[in-house]
Amino acid sequence: MPKVYPATSEVRSRRALLSREGKVALQVICKVPVADEGFVDYAVEIAREGFKVWSRMSGNERGRILANAGKMLLDAHPELARLEVLDTGKPLSESGGVGADSVQFFSGLASTVCVSGSYIPLGSKAFGYTRREPLGVCVGIGAWNYPNQIALWKSAPALACGNSVILKPSELTPLTALRIAEIYSEAGVPPGVFNVVHGDHTTGSLLAGHKGVRKVSLTGSVPTGKKIMERAATTLKTISLELGGKSPMIVFNDANIDNAVRGAMMANFYCQGEVCSNGTRLLVQESIKDDFMHRFCELTNRIRIGDPMKESTQFGALITENHMKKVAFLAISLQVPGLPSCPRPQRRCNSIRNGFFLGPVIFEKCTKDSRLLKEEIFGPVACVQTFKTEEEAIEMANGTDFGLAAAVFTNDIQRAHRVVDQLDAGTCWINEYNLSPPELPFGEK
Ligand SMILES: NC(=O)c1ccc[n+]([C@@H]2O[C@H](COP(=O)([O-])OP(=O)(O)OC[C@H]3O[C@@H](n4cnc5c(N)ncnc54)[C@H](O)[C@@H]3O)[C@@H](O)[C@H]2O)c1
Ligand SMILES: C[N+](C)(C)CCCC=O
């Protein structure tokens, strides 16, 4: 059975969008416990027991179980997608699915490079060897925008290598982790190996500082990353941080403009703009700016905003009222120095009374030091700037404290690779945006 901890005295409720007979309403959909210190200790103890069993199995045995889980997760796609819509408010067409492929991919690696070491000859009389060993209990702490994907991207490689996992999903999106735990368990993952602990920053902090935990992997904001780094340092545990971004997308005048506009849509308005790697700083070469803006605004104004449970919806609700207010402040109140080019910054979708809907916004007159160009907004707000030369584009692209992702749109393949080589970003795409198959690493530089 998956380890689901019993309710504590403190209970947090969750309001979410429910779709009934075409009407969208805000309702409490579940209550989850917030794990306190006692529960965190309990979870770590259970995970250590699970580790003893799992780490002693051969990579091949683990791989077989994970392959089974990967298939079951794929089959459960419709259900996981629906749960993710309930949790997040993002459209069904953009939910779930992403993640099962990661479990399938890592299942295939479980008995290969993940676990093999090297043989080192030391003359004729001796040799040395290295071993790759699992760490022990690994903690995954998740953000709310991709709950399925985060749970699976974190657990798949850790489990393939023989670690046990404690996942703490975001307190805003608790649902899918529990179903994923059930599926892992049904697929044959032994008790204590994949565990879910619910809670907020207090629970996350307890896990990050726990002496029985060997590694923490966070997907979240930069401030949280700094706090986790501090907490993890108290026990010298290793960490992986997947944090925020303010990524550039460069469009040169020789690019296929329709493809660049498609890329800009994907890089800004997919998942209501709540994507870490989004290319929210659109750098467009001056000579094609008018054409680009015309087509970009036209497509943006055609986005179908609405009930996230409807297959035809392309743009759902933001995660919480507070988040919507923050995005709206930046997108509506902070119109410095001009009005948005694409006039769609309405607070709510007209056809939906409830829910935190905020239409897409495109700014094209941002001054260099505008907050719009510096801060991660994490909502449907795109900023367009122009450049004259390749050198200028590279300088503008690198003018950020973040370094998560970037893209270059051009038909000149030599220029594409030359520019990518000079970009300070962890993931760079050419004539594409936000592709992230499991075969490729994803993350900060
Ligand atoms: N790089 C990536 O792969 C990636 C992917 C998705 C989201 N993100 C980033 O996540 C952010 C949005 O997500 P969010 O609002 O949930 O982020 P957040 O940092 O507020 O919270 C993330 C997780 O950390 C926990 N947490 C918060 N404070 C903590 C603390 N002091 N100690 C331990 N745990 C703590 C939360 O409970 C949550 O589970 C954005 O900045 C976005 O760019 C990054
Ligand atoms: C799969 N995407 C779209 C690249 C999202 C990765 C996670 C970032 O928020």
Within the chain, all domains assigned CATH 3.40.605.10 are found at 10-120+132-242
Confidence of residue 9 (pLDDT cuts 50, 70, 90): very low
**pLDDT for the residue numbered 25:** 57
- Nearest to residue 66, comparing CAs of 194, 246, 170? 194
214 in Cβ contact with 135 (< 8 Å): yes
User: Between these two residues, 351 and 255, which has the higher pLDDT value?
Assistant: 255
- What CATH number does the domain located at 10-120+132-242 have? 3.40.605.10
Residue type, 178: L
The CA 378 to ligand 2 mean position distance, Å, reads 12
> What digits encode the pLDDT tens for the residues 274-291?
999 999 999 999 999 999
Rounded mean pLDDT, 91-95: 90
Ligand 1 atom 3 nearest Cα? 242
Instruction: Look up residue 224 and give its two tokens.
Output: 């949280």
The letter for the amino acid at 36 is D
Which pair of structure tokens corresponds to residue 24? 């969208």
pLDDT confidence of 334, banded at 50, 70, 90? Answer: low
Q: Return the CATH number of the domain spanning residue range 248-430.
A: 3.40.309.10
Q: Is the confidence at residue 336, as pLDDT, over 60?
A: no
Quick: pLDDT tens for 151-199. 999 999 999 999 999 999 999 999 999 999 999 999 999 999 999 999 9
Position 116 scores a pLDDT of 86
Minimum mean pLDDT range among 115-129, 261-275, 295-309, 337-351: 337-351
Ligand nearest to the CA of 88: 1
Count helices and strands (H / E) in the chain.
14, 16
- The amino acid present at 195, given as its one-letter code, is N
3-state SS class at 27:
strand
136 neighbors 216 (Cβ within 8 angstroms): no
Per-residue pLDDT reduced to its tens digit, 373-382: 999 999 999 9
What average pLDDT score do residues 356-366 get?
84
Rounded average pLDDT over 424-431: 97
Residues in Cβ contact with 77 at an 8 Å cutoff, skipping those fewer than 6 apart: 96, 97, 100
Alpha carbons 150 and 139: distance in angstroms, whole number: 12
In this structure, is the dihedral angle defined by the CA atoms of residues 309, 310, 312 and 315, taken in order, positive or negative? Answer: negative
Tens-digit pLDDT profile for residues 399-412: 999 999 999 999 99
Beta bridge partners of 4: 196
Ligand 1 center from residue 257 Cα (angstroms): 34
Q: Identify which ligand lies nearest to the alpha carbon of 434.
A: 2
User: What local confidence, expressed as pLDDT, does residue 333 receive?
Assistant: 60
Evaluate if residue 51 carries a pLDDT over 60.
Answer: yes
Residue type, 263: G
Strand 11-20 vs strand 23-33: parallel, antiparallel, or unpaired? antiparallel
Per residue in 97-146, pLDDT tens?
679 999 999 999 999 877 889 999 999 999 999 999 999 999 999 999 99
Mean pLDDT calculated for residue range 332-347? 50
* Ligand 2 neighbours by CB, cut-off 6 Å: 98, 145-146, 275-277, 434, 436
- Contacts within 8 Å (CB) and 24+ apart, 410-415: 410/250, 410/251, 410/252, 410/254, 410/255, 411/254, 411/255, 411/256, 412/252, 412/254, 415/252, 415/390
Kindly state the tokens that stand for 423: 């970009």
For the record, the structure tokens of 42 come out as 């309990």
pLDDT at 232: 96
DSSP 288: G
ipTM for the assembly:
0.96
Buried b (16+ CB within 10 A) or exposed e, 98-110: bbbbbbbbbbebb
249 pLDDT exceeds 70? yes
Q: What is the pLDDT of residue 372?
A: 86
- Burial category of 245 from C-beta neighbours within 10 Å (exposed 0-12, middle 13-18, buried 19 and up): buried
Mean pLDDT score across all residues of the chain = 89
Please check the confidence at residue 345 and state whether its pLDDT lies above 50.
no
DSSP H stretches of helix in 57-192 = 59-75, 77-88, 100-109, 147-160, 175-187
Ligand 1 centroid distance, CA of 399 (Å) = 23
Q: Which residues are catalytic?
A: 242
Rounded average pLDDT over 404-422: 98
**Four-point Cα dihedral 235, 169, 71, 270, nearest 10:** -120
Note the pLDDT tens digit of each residue in 60-75.
Answer: 999 999 999 999 999 9
Q: Given the CA of residue 244, which atom of ligand 1 is nearest to it?
A: 43
- Output the residue whose Cα is nearest ligand 1's atom 35: 201
pLDDT at residue number 347: 37
- C-alpha 237/C-alpha 333 separation (Å) is 43
The closest alpha carbon to 381, from 291, 230, 278, 305, belongs to 278
Ligand 1 binding residues, C-beta < 6 A: 141-146, 168, 170-171, 200-201, 204-205, 208, 219-221, 224, 227-228, 242-245, 276, 376, 378, 404, 443
- pLDDT average, residue stretch 228-250: 96
Q: What percent of the chain has pLDDT over 90?
A: 74
Q: Is the pLDDT of residue 306 over 80?
A: yes
Higher pLDDT, 369 or 73: 73
349 has pLDDT over 80: no
Ligand 1 atom closest to the Cα of residue 146 is: 6
Q: Ligand 2 centre from 428 Cα, in Å? A: 13
Q: Which residue has the tokens 């990967």?
A: 70
Least confident piece of the model among 218-227, 351-360, 387-396: 351-360
Q: How far is the CA of 275 from the centre of ligand 2 (A)?
A: 6
In terms of Cα–Cα distance, which of 265, 295, 267 is closest to 280? Answer: 267
Contacts of residue 380, defined as CB under 8 A and 6 or more positions apart, other chains included, come to 268, 269, 272, 273, 315, 327, 331, 358, 359, 360, 361
CATH 3.40.309.10 segments of the chain: 248-430
Nearest ligand to the CA atom of 204: 1
Task: Tell me the average pLDDT across 203-220.
Answer: 98
Query: What is the pLDDT, as a whole number, of residue 340?
Result: 52
* Segment holding 238, helix H or strand E: strand 238-242
